[in-house]
Chains A and B, each alone.
Chain A
């Protein structure tokens, strides 16, 4: 079954870091680009960027540089999103999504809720 399975919800204090995982199954992860999308509570979708699964090269959207890091471990077919120096405004659901080659996301993870609160 083709799917992306993400890690569970996280509760973090401001200033801490969080690492969200996204495990691919049913397909070869290096055959597709992997994207990350943020959805703040009650808000719309926001594209964060993507990682080239062949080279490991990440591309970050405006507003997601500096504290955000995309990485990949092809040996376990897993993409990662790490956010450092967490702020309250980072509280959101984070999705990984597979780009099917035509800039459309055909497979999505179930989402990981990250809550930043003291």
Chain B
């Protein structure tokens, strides 16, 4: 199972919005609504930000939103803040009854 494709890096200024894409196939992202997004700060464990494409866990800011179109899922962060800087990973359930992560995207807040 190949990793999902994410841009290596994105950047934005405080207050702006950014979107991170996550491209898979019809056997994973496109075939199931089990897409999740994780935020990871250096030296820390990942934190769940979005599950089932667009649902936010309790406690996650509503500045984070998720969507999906075809084989590509997206994470949008609005009103960018310095604390949003970090690495972001998508994951998807697959037709092989496995899970696969994206390669990760480094978000820099300018």
Q: Which residues of A contact B (CB under 8 A)?
A: 35, 37, 44-47, 49, 59, 61-62, 95, 97, 100, 102-106, 108-111
Please indicate the chain A residues that have their CB under 8 angstroms from the CB of B109 in the complex.
none
The verdict on B48 contacting chain A, using a C-beta distance below 8 Å, is: yes
* Contact in complex: B99, A47 (CB < 8 Å): yes
Contacts beyond the supplied A59-B98, A104-B36: 10 A-B pairs with Cβ under 8 Å: A44-B3, A45-B91, A49-B98, A95-B45, A100-B51, A103-B32, A103-B34, A103-B51, A104-B52, A105-B48
Let me know if B101 and A106 touch, CB within 8 A.
no
Query: Is B64 interfacial (CB-CB < 8 Å)?
Result: no
Q: Nearest Cβ distance between residue A100 and chain B, in whole angstroms?
A: 7
In chain B between 21 and 76, which residues have their CB closer than 8 angstroms to a CB of chain A?
A: 32, 34, 36, 38, 40, 45-48, 51-52, 57
Q: Please measure, in the bound complex, the distance between the C-alpha atom of A111 and the C-alpha atom of B91, giving whole angstroms.
A: 19
Query: A105 CA to B93 CA in the complex, in Å?
Result: 12
Closest chain A residue to B103, Cβ basis: A44
24 A–B contact pairs at CB < 8 A?
A37-B101, A44-B87, A44-B89, A44-B104, A45-B46, A45-B91, A47-B91, A47-B100, A61-B99, A62-B98, A95-B46, A97-B46, A102-B34, A103-B32, A103-B51, A103-B92, A104-B34, A104-B48, A105-B36, A105-B46, A105-B48, A106-B57, A109-B45, A110-B45
Top 3 A-B residue pairs of the complex, sorted by shortest distance between their CB atoms: A104-B51, A103-B34, A108-B45
| Contact across chains for B99 and A103 when beta carbons are under 8 A apart | yes
* B75-110 contact mask (Cβ, 8 Å, vs A): 1 or 0: 000000000000101011100011111111000000
CB-CB under 8 A from B3, the residues of chain A are: 44
